[in-house]
C-alpha cells in the first residue's frame, strides 16, 4: 500500500524509467514493471493515500527530491521515442 512515508520507487523511476518504457509497454505496463502494481492496485493505494491524514498536515520528511535524485535522473540523456 502507498503511505505518506514509504516510497515504492525512486524519483528516477518516476521521471525517467516509466516514461522511457511506456511506448513499448503502455503506461500501465511500465508502472507494473517498475512499481509492481496493476492499475487497480495503484488506484486503490492512491485513493487510500489521498484520504489519509489531514489537508493541513506537514509533508513527510524526505518527500522532495534530493540533489542526488536530480543527478541520477540524468534528463539530458533520456532517449524518448521520436514522433
pTM: 0.64
Is 62 part of any domain? no
The number of domains in the chain is 1
Note the pLDDT of residue 28: 94
Residue 61 inside a domain? The answer is no
Longest pairwise C-alpha distance within the chain? 43
Domain span at residue 28? Answer: 10-52
Q: Is residue 34 part of a domain?
A: yes
Concatenating the DSSP letter of every residue in 29-63 gives: HHHHHHH---HHHHHHHHHHHHHSS-TTSPPPTT-
The mean pLDDT values, 10 residues at a time, for the chain of 83 residues are 55 84 91 92 89 83 80 72 62
Q: Per the domain annotation, does 58 fall within a domain? A: no
Domain annotation covers residue 69:
no
Amino acid at each position: 500500500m502507498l503511505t505518506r512515508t514509504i516510497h515504492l520507487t525512486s524519483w528516477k523511476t518516476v521521471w525517467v524509467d516509466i516514461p522511457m518504457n511506456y511506448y513499448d509497454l503502455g503506461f500501465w505496463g511500465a508502472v507494473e514493471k517498475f512499481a509492481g502494481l496493476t492499475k487497480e492496485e495503484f488506484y486503490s493505494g492512491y485513493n487510500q493515500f489521498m484520504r489519509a491524514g489531514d489537508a493541513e498536515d506537514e509533508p513527510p520528511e524526505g518527500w522532495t527530491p534530493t540533489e542526488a535524485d536530480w543527478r541520477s535522473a540524468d534528463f539530458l540523456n533520456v532517449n524518448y521515442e521520436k514522433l
